[in-house]
Structure 1
Amino acid sequence: MDVEVQEKDAVKSASGDADRLRLWLEGERAVAGARDLLLETGADVELASRVSLGIDAAVFVSEDDVEGTVSQIGGHRVVRYDGALEIAGGELCLFDDMIVQTEGYATAPYVSISVPTAFAVVDELDLAALRADLAAARATGVLPAYLTTALATVVDQRRWLEPLLPDDDAPRRLLLCADGTLRDGPGGRVVSADGSIDPSHHVPPAEDAGEIARFLGAAKVVRALRARLGREVSVAGYDGKVGSVGAGRTDSVFVASDDASSYVVDIATSRIDRVPDAVATVVEQTLCARAGTGDGGDAGRAPEGSERVLEALALERFLPASADRAL
């Protein structure tokens, strides 16, 4: 293998590891059936070796602790990082120059996003800023630019999206703290050795949890489609049309469009379908009707043909009760 090929492979590997770290920060699995683990600096490597991670899991280890780690982790991919896991104002470096930065959400409008950036809601100030963005988006129909750039994401995004997703309390990634505590992420719940979470650690959702989830879900869809399609995309409800946000919706489906096509995206299954505009309209109207946010006398009633459309898109779980369907 020549030097140029080796360099390209190294860049590809570094980029893949940075994306994997992004998923870890979001609270998502990078590989089905596996849970990536990040060890804080000074964490007990021997303790980490006893944690069940699944096949193809990655283990992020501080450069200061990496010596001897490979032999103890037991076949998992070890990814070295430099820096500290500071949820607001931190930097983690992979392969010398691949940087992932973390910032508090309240600082988002002022952050230069030139590297992968994860915004975290860590205190009341951050939460107030998030709710202010939600209110502005509800009033204007526009998502903030710093949430839709491809380099951005939200720490613990999976947890914020839970009101839209099927119940699944199993940790999808793990953090081994320097004090020996195993958690399901930064500032997350304590995880036992068998991978379970104490039910007493469950925090009841806020009243606006569903709205926040739809807001962050829409931004997630825009980022994903822009990266996939390489062009501008908008999401129904956040497409610049004032008053178009469907309040009260807690489904996981988003209708998106660009200049050429319409798309139906289900973030619960990661399924993306390119569909005719008419089909996209039926999906959006049906799910708004399900939430009781239809227009005028049609509120709560699905449009004609909705049953066939949703079944074809594997969305039959969102069909209204038969008595409420338009005949």
Structure 2
Amino acid sequence: MGDTKRRLMQWATGQAGDALPERVATIVLENPGHLAAIIESGLAGPESVIFVPGGPGDAEGPTIVGYDGSLSEAGAEMSISEAFFLQTQDYGTSEYMSVIGPSTVRIFGEEDFELYLSDADRAADEGVFPAFLTHPTVRIADLPGLGAGPGPDGPRLRLHARADGALSTSPTGLPLGKVGDDLPVLRAEWDRINAGGEHPCAVCLGEAVPEERRAAELAARPWLGRYLTAIAGLQDLHARGAADVRVSGFGGRLVPGLEGVAGPADLAGPDLPLLLWTEHAAYIHQPVHQLGPARTFEVEHRAGQLAEALLVCGSVEAAAEHDDPAGLATVAGFFSKAGVLLT
């Protein structure tokens, strides 16, 4: 069940921290009658997982997982036997819903998108993050369309087959083809839609938010990828029982003197490590990336201050204008050996 849940979350979020199989990693069907055509088209291989309404059916090669309910309707719940339940909520009402188990929060329309942007702006200005988004069992769907960047997303990572046979990467995505099309056809259409776009992915939210609006709002907020990374870091710490967690770069810094650094390096990309802190400790969060899963390291405040200077300034030399060069080199070297680059 663990691998099944992991695949389902990769399908929902559009992110993966491990290598993709040769064919489509995860496929969700709304119509069980499409299973045979999906397999015959060559989309699914031995390492693929296909979620099918009702029973698992008959198929050789891919893993077939039967489910009840829906993964594409706001307010709906899907279940796999009696072992796993997943709720789907629209962003606009999620603030008022009680989190009782694993949930995905989706952007179903422009109103949801506007609320998402408003929450992100408040976090950037005041350091206040929506409580429902930082709950450990909640995941935001379609992260590549919300500022996280494309990463491994695309039809090789995930597909959703609607009841009418249209194929996309997401329930709110632009159609890439139809049931029966092979992976090269779907990939070519995904590439065509994203060609020339400065803010991919233009597919996964294409039927929920007009692309011109989405691209303009993301261009005005180049730090949205970091916002999403911060949410993931907060979820990790909340799962460990941490409370009153602050995030560097959102409403302040652990070292106040770093707030005036122009063009801070740690806001340059969503894959960069992130500093968080509480009254008692500091944390370095390495987000999920193509080479591995997310990791979080706990350190004392002093080490956190040095790490923050490295993250903000981008190099030991530049950070030396704000802190002890020997200490900076030591902290940078320690994390480098752990596979985390602070500069």
* Bucket of the pairwise TM-score, normalised by the shorter protein: 0.7 to 0.9
TM-score, structure 1 length as denominator? 0.73
Assess, with a 3 A threshold, how the Cα gap between structure 1 residues 186 and 311 changes in structure 2: closer, same or farther. Answer: farther
* Pick aligned residue for 2:183 from 183, 194, 198: 194
Aligned to 2:36: 46
Question: Aligned partners of 1:188, 1:80: CA distance in 2, in Å?
Answer: 23
Assess, with a 3 A threshold, how the Cα gap between structure 1 residues 75 and 54 changes in structure 2: closer, same or farther. Answer: closer
Q: 1:1-327 maps to which residues of 2 (within 5 A)?
A: 13=1, 17-18=4-5, 20-29=7-16, 32-34=19-21, 35-49=25-39, 50-53=41-44, 55-63=46-54, 66=55, 69=57, 71-72=58-59, 74-96=60-82, 98-163=84-149, 171-188=156-173, 190=176, 193-194=182-183, 196-198=187-189, 199-202=191-194, 203-205=197-199, 206-227=218-239, 229-232=240-243, 234-237=245-248, 249-251=267-269, 252=271, 253-258=273-278, 261-267=281-287, 268=289, 269=292, 270-290=294-314, 303=323, 304-305=325-326, 306=328, 309-314=331-336, 319=343
- Tell me which of the two structures has the higher relative contact order, counting C-alpha pairs closer than 8 angstroms and 6 or more residues apart: 2
Q: Is there any run of 5+ residues in structure 2 with no aligned partner, and where?
A: 200-217
Assess, with a 3 A threshold, how the Cα gap between structure 1 residues 30 and 265 changes in structure 2: closer, same or farther. Answer: closer
Assess, with a 3 A threshold, how the Cα gap between structure 1 residues 300 and 185 changes in structure 2: closer, same or farther. Answer: farther
| AA matched with 1:113 | V
Identity, in percent, stands at: 20
Query: Residue deviations 1:58-95, cap 9 Å, x none?
Result: 221101xx36x3x32x2333221112332433221221
Assess, with a 3 A threshold, how the Cα gap between structure 1 residues 132 and 235 changes in structure 2: closer, same or farther. Answer: same
Assess, with a 3 A threshold, how the Cα gap between structure 1 residues 75 and 138 changes in structure 2: closer, same or farther. Answer: same
Assess, with a 3 A threshold, how the Cα gap between structure 1 residues 209 and 81 changes in structure 2: closer, same or farther. Answer: farther
Question: Aligned partners of 2:321, 2:173: CA distance in 1, in Å?
Answer: 40
Query: Residue deviations 1:94-118, cap 9 Å, x none?
Result: 2147431212212222122212221
Tell me, yes or no, if the aligned pair for 1:18 and 1:94 is still in contact at 8 Å: no
| AA matched with 1:21 | L
How far does residue 258 in structure 1 lie from its aligned partner after superposition? 4.7
Question: Aligned partners of 1:210, 1:54: CA distance in 2, in Å?
Answer: 37
Assess, with a 3 A threshold, how the Cα gap between structure 1 residues 217 and 208 changes in structure 2: closer, same or farther. Answer: farther
TM-score, structure 2 length as denominator? 0.70
Tell me, yes or no, if the aligned pair for 1:254 and 1:264 is still in contact at 8 Å: yes
**RMSD, aligned CA:** 3.6
Tell me, yes or no, if the aligned pair for 2:154 and 2:169 is still in contact at 8 Å: no
Assess, with a 3 A threshold, how the Cα gap between structure 1 residues 245 and 172 changes in structure 2: closer, same or farther. Answer: farther
Tell me, yes or no, if the aligned pair for 2:159 and 2:168 is still in contact at 8 Å: yes
| AA matched with 1:129 | L
- SS of the counterpart of 2:183? coil
- SS of the counterpart of 2:222? helix
Query: Residue deviations 1:103-139, cap 9 Å, x none?
Result: 2212222122212221112222111101111222233
| AA matched with 2:51 | F
Question: Aligned partners of 1:301, 1:159: CA distance in 2, in Å?
Answer: 37
Tell me, yes or no, if the aligned pair for 2:69 and 2:78 is still in contact at 8 Å: yes
Query: Residue deviations 1:118-161, cap 9 Å, x none?
Result: 11122221111011112222332121111111121111124435
Question: Aligned partners of 1:101, 1:16: CA distance in 2, in Å?
Answer: 18
| AA matched with 2:27 | L
Assess, with a 3 A threshold, how the Cα gap between structure 1 residues 318 and 171 changes in structure 2: closer, same or farther. Answer: farther
Q: Is there any run of 5+ residues in structure 1 with no aligned partner, and where?
A: 1-12, 292-297, 320-327
Number of matched residues?
Answer: 293
Query: Residue deviations 1:37-56, cap 9 Å, x none?
Result: 11112451112214444554
Tell me, yes or no, if the aligned pair for 2:52 and 2:66 is still in contact at 8 Å: yes
